[in-house]
Every structure is written in C-alpha cells, then in structure tokens.
Amino acid sequence: MLVLDQFKTVPVRRAVVIDEYGGLDGIVTQTELLEAIAGDPPDVEGEEPDMVEHEDGSLLIGGRCRYIRRSIGWASGPNRRRTPYDCRFGAIRIGHIPEVGERFSHEVWRFEIADMDGRRIDKLFA
C-alpha cells in the first residue's frame, strides 16, 4: 500500500517500480493499482462485454479486453512489452495482417480471428 500512499501525496499518473536489488521491476499506473486492489470496474450499461465464455469453454475476446493481458501473461511487470498499439492484441505478432477465420497459437493458447476492424484484430476466439 506504500505505492497507493505515494499516489495520494504526489500528483503523478505513473510510477516506476524498483525491486529490492535496485533493478527496474516495471511501471504502474493509478488505474492498474486500483484494479489490482478492487478488481476491474463494472461495465457501463449497454456496453458490449470484453469477454464472453461459451458453453463449450471457448472465449470470445474483445480487442480491448484488459483481462486477456493477465490471463495470458501480458500483464504489467518486468516482462511487460510496451508497444505503440492501441488494441490489446497489438502484442500478437503473426507476421502479416490476418484475416477472419485465420488460426494461430501463442504459448499454450490457440486463437482464431473472429472479427477485424480494418487492419486491427477486433475479436478473437480462444
């Protein structure tokens, strides 16, 4: 909670996290800190959910879903990749602009492109 106290007293939006050895452990924002404490905020009325679980156990994941970063391991911390991409799937590198129906794997996950918004992946099945 020391970081929360720092955010209360110093008007900053981001903080650099240093580990016990003096090494960079990551960057934390006020929003990420509050989500870690309280969980994700509830969806706005009428807003499409970020992720829907189907009866067969598969997931339909929206391109801006924050949960996918944590569940797949793309969360904040020392291994977090900073990218210029707006969508959460920007970290997925498959070497070309995908098409709807295309399948690929990342670590232990299997994905299928469910919807595209121009050149951006809008929805995935996992």
Structural domains in the chain plus CATH codes: 1-39 (3.90.1280.20), 43-126 (3.30.465.10)
Going residue by residue through the chain, which has 126 residues, state the pLDDT in tens, using 9 for 90 and above.
576 777 778 777 787 877 778 888 777 777 777 777 766 665 555 556 667 777 887 778 776 665 555 555 444 444 444 444 444 455 556 677 778 898 887 667 788 888 887 877 778 887
pTM of the model: 0.48
DSSP-assigned states of every residue in 3-64: HHHHHHHS--SEEEEE-TTS-EEEEEEHHHHHHHHH-SPPPPTTPPPSEEE-TTS-EEEETT
